[in-house]
Amino acid sequence: MTEDDAQKVTRGKVEGPVGHGVIAGYLKTLDASPGVYRMLDAKNAVLYVGKARNLRARVSNYARPGGHSPRIARMIRETASMMFLTTRTETEALLLEQNLIKQLKPRYNVLLRDDKSFPNVLVTDHPFPMIKKHRGAKKEKGSYYGPFASAGAVNRALSQLQRVFLLRNCSDAMFESRTRPCLQFQIKRCSGPCVGKVSEADYAEAVRDAERYLAGRSTQIQEKLAGEMQAASDAMEFERAAALRDRIKALTQVQTAQG
- pLDDT tens by residue, 69-98: 888 999 999 999 999 999 988 888 888 998
3-state secondary structure of 187: coil
Portions of the chain given CATH number 3.40.1440.10: 8-114
pLDDT tens digits, one per residue of 166-225: 999 999 999 999 999 999 999 989 999 999 999 999 999 999 999 988 887 777 888 888
pLDDT-based confidence at residue 102 (cuts at 50, 70, 90): confident
Select from 94, 54, 27, 95 the least CA-distant residue to 259. Answer: 54
Q: How far is CA 226 from CA 213, 219, 239, in A?
A: 15, 11, 15
pTM for this model (two decimals): 0.63
According to DSSP, the residues that pair with 220 across neighbouring strands are none
Q: How far is CA 140 from CA 24, 132, 136, 145, 200, in A?
A: 44, 12, 10, 13, 21
For residue 152, which amino acid is it?
G
Q: Where are the alpha helices (DSSP H) in the chain?
A: 20-24, 55-63, 70-78, 90-104, 110-114, 151-165, 172-177, 183-186, 200-214, 218-234, 238-257
Domain 8-114 has CATH 3.40.1440.10: yes
Number of H helices, E strands in the chain: 11, 7
